[in-house]
Structure 1
Amino acid sequence: MGFEKNRALKVNDIVKIGMLAAMCAIMTSIKVPFGADAMVHLGTACVFLIGILFGGIYAGFAAAIGSGFFDLLMGFSPYTLWSFFIKGIAGFLIGTIAHGLWPKKTFDGWLKKALLGMVIAAIWTLGGYILAWWYVTGSLTIAISYIPSSIMTSTAGFIVAVVVAPVLRKKI
């Protein structure tokens, strides 16, 4: 399997992206509700892990498709397009910063790059969803009230990724 920068997606890549997108959707459905209309889910952890392990192309597509599919299936359809772009770009950011565009067999210095990528992706996600919440609800006050749940979800994802990534990267 080639890992060059300018290669086209192959059938193998598309199959992997599909499986990773399904994992994103499933992990997003694992949630702990709290407060009014708020939840902490493991979808962000999945996006972070895919980015760290598989690079920006896989993480971007998997996060976009998986998060959008989750919203569509679970009754959050006003957020489907928002999630597609917000999570897709977040996945691309974490994957590209932590690992490059395509998967590589070496993980030299991966932790510092992964930490930076996760922070940038979390900031992007928070900003994107503030706009999404504001647009969908029509209220900036409501949008701002959702900030703690987004921060908690990113923090949970950050912790899971930092703990699980070293184990998983040895397996691929």
Structure 2
Amino acid sequence: MNCKRKLDVRDIVFIGVLSSMCTIATTIKIPFGVGAMVHLGSAFLYTMGIIFGGVYAGLAGAIGSGFYDLLMGFSPYTLWSFLIKGIAGLIVGRVAKGLWPESTANTSKLFVRAFFACILAAVWTLGGYILAWWYVTGSLATALGNIPSSLMTSGVGLSIALLLGPKLRKLLRR
């Protein structure tokens, strides 16, 4: 499909719905170990990238994650999340599917493309949030101390996205 197409009303509605779903998914926490929590925002973002492509996942991730930070009292991270999660969604969607929902990526290698896409997005997210944590807290030690939780969240997100993404994409193509 044309990579330079413009957003229409249908696109804006879908992105709005996906943004709100991203916010909700980020509020869902799973206890992981002693005192650790993993949220499902990354799982949702990666899955949407695999299904809908980079534009939808990027905008939904940026808006949904930024709104989550505003809603839950993490306002110092709002701009950071907007940029980090927006680009992460763009990375997953672009590598796994293409830019737009109509893009036709090679489905025979979808699992490999989706796995690689999620790994790239996880690395981007980790690097971005290390900078964000360092900037907001003023402590590199605190920023580096958050690495395990970021990796757990991305790992859970990758696992869920690789289970759901290809199946949902196939179902939605019908």
How high is the TM-score relative to the length of structure 2?
0.92
Residues 111-130 of structure 1: pairs in structure 2 closer than 5 A? 111-130=111-130
Aligned residue for 2:171? Answer: 171
Q: Deviations over 1:113-171 (max 9, x none)?
A: 11111000000000000000000111000000000000000000011011111321122
Give the conservation status (yes or no) of the 8 Å contact 2:110–2:166: no
Percent identity over paired residues: 59
* Distance of aligned partners of 1:7 and 1:106 in 2 relative to their CA distance in 1, 3 Å threshold: closer
The Cα shift of 1:34 comes to 5.9
Given the alignment of the two structures, is residue 23 of structure 1 paired with residue 21 of structure 2, yes or no? yes
Give the conservation status (yes or no) of the 8 Å contact 2:23–2:67: yes
Aligned residue for 1:46? Answer: 44
Given the alignment of the two structures, is residue 146 of structure 1 paired with residue 146 of structure 2, yes or no? yes
Equivalent-residue separation in structure 2 for 1:38 and 1:80 (angstroms): 22
How high is the TM-score relative to the length of structure 1?
0.93
Give the conservation status (yes or no) of the 8 Å contact 1:38–1:146: no
Aligned residue for 1:71? Answer: 69
The Cα shift of 1:5 comes to 1.5
Alpha-carbon RMSD across the aligned residues, in angstroms, is: 1.7
- Count of residues in Structure 1 that have an aligned counterpart in Structure 2: 170
Which runs of no fewer than 5 residues in structure 2 stay unpaired?
none
The Cα shift of 1:111 comes to 1.2
Aligned residue for 1:161? Answer: 161
Q: 2:93 aligns with which of 82, 95, 118?
A: 95
Equivalent-residue separation in structure 2 for 1:36 and 1:128 (angstroms): 26
SS in structure 1 of the partner of residue 38 of structure 2? strand
Which runs of no fewer than 5 residues in structure 1 stay unpaired?
none
